[in-house]
Structure 1
């Protein structure tokens, strides 16, 4: 997986955001994988620790959304389905100020990533299957059962896009996503803060939840670029002004 990501040669290097196995110990009845230690714990841990305060920080939520989109986009370009994308499987490495630029490639380039995606125990290497292969299996956790699983339709990359939507939902609202269907459109039950870019956030959820078929997977890169343009034009100054406070808050919560 690391080699495939390297071959992509994208301006944004997500390899540091994807679990790398330093050592592995394998036995007949168990195994142990040694990887990078992240003192802040999982993304879910951090959201729970921040409590209500994180809901008012669109700059941080949008930044992490863009980072997640880069991650998923490049994994899928390598024909890898993670299969279990959720806040529990994202460790928080930490935050740094970003370059002050109107060019998203300048802002997000480099190899410093705030999150680390772990647990590839459910992942699928699509390169090992014939073209056109789809799946009908269902995950056991209902909160992360994609629309296709819920409606008994075939799926491939949809499961990760649903997991992406669910993770973004936790960042926005501090709780797991619930969906419902209205006039053939799948929606979330929560309403986006009116101070946020409601139109863009609605588009994100609509795109990730309403996927026509396995042959018509949405262009995540186009959606990600729209998010980047909004971030650099409207949120980047606030991010750089406030991020040191976020870092101090995160460190103080971790030390408790």
Structure 2
């Protein structure tokens, strides 16, 4: 099966990036998966693009249909933590990789669900920019930021920028946004499905 990392690499080979509307809908599905996981009091602790496998081609029909049709599945639960066994507990320590470790891990600060939010943003960064996320500490603003900058014309630029900054802010108006230009949505899906079909799962 292809993963989101495979899909991103396929776009890179085509010398292009995934359409912004498509990125938004994939982001919504991933966010919903994480929401269910966290409601079950589980930290996955290894959220990254190669841990989301593509289970279905996307539909070129109206965007709202995509909400009820899974596109990706979360795999690799080897690092998962069942928080029902550790109520009100935090953790210290690193997973061992700078690119996947949240800032709390890197700075030996306590963490719980921060690792999953960091992984979510890192996954979305790969889909948007076609490369892994690099972050730095903005001393003036006293916040962490990512080194890449979204172009102002990128769909939902302000929303993604805020989400990247907050790690968890998910837009609520994506369906209206995409429905305004159904033809653009269909072009994006056709491109994605074409890339998926060029190689064997």
Q: TM-score range by the shorter chain?
A: 0.7 to 0.9
Unaligned 5+ segments in structure 1 are 1-37, 209-219
Spell out the pairing of 1:113-128 with structure 2 (5 A cutoff).
Answer: 113-128=70-85
Aligned to 1:235: 178
Deviation at 1:156, TM superposition (A): 0.4
Deviation at 1:241, TM superposition (A): 4.3
Identify if the C-alpha distance between structure 1 residues 44 and 109 changes in structure 2 by more than 3 Å, giving closer, same or farther.
Answer: closer
Identify if the C-alpha distance between structure 1 residues 43 and 109 changes in structure 2 by more than 3 Å, giving closer, same or farther.
Answer: closer
Aligned to 2:34: 72
Q: For the pair shown, which has the larger CA radius of gyration, 1 or 2? A: 1
Deviation at 1:140, TM superposition (A): 0.5
Deviation at 1:193, TM superposition (A): 2.2
Deviation at 1:99, TM superposition (A): 6.1
Unaligned 5+ segments in structure 2 are none
Spell out the pairing of 1:72-151 with structure 2 (5 A cutoff).
Answer: 72-97=34-59, 100=62, 107-110=65-68, 112-129=69-86, 131-151=87-107
Aligned to 1:206: 165
SS at match of 1:116: strand
Q: State the TM-score, normalized to the length of structure 2.
A: 0.88
Contact 1:94 1:247 in 2 (8 A): no
Structure 1 CA distance, aligned partners of 2:16 and 2:23? Answer: 12
Contact 2:55 2:73 in 1 (8 A): yes
Aligned to 1:181: 137
Deviation at 1:90, TM superposition (A): 1.0
Structure 2 CA distance, aligned partners of 1:251 and 1:203? Answer: 34
Tell me the number of residue pairs that the alignment of Structure 1 and Structure 2 aligns: 193
Contact 1:66 1:228 in 2 (8 A): no
Deviations 1:173-212 (A, max 9, x none): 111111011121110000012211221111011111xxxx
Aligned to 2:7: 46
Q: State the TM-score, normalized to the length of structure 1.
A: 0.70
Deviations 1:5-27 (A, max 9, x none): xxxxxxxxxxxxxxxxxxxxxxx
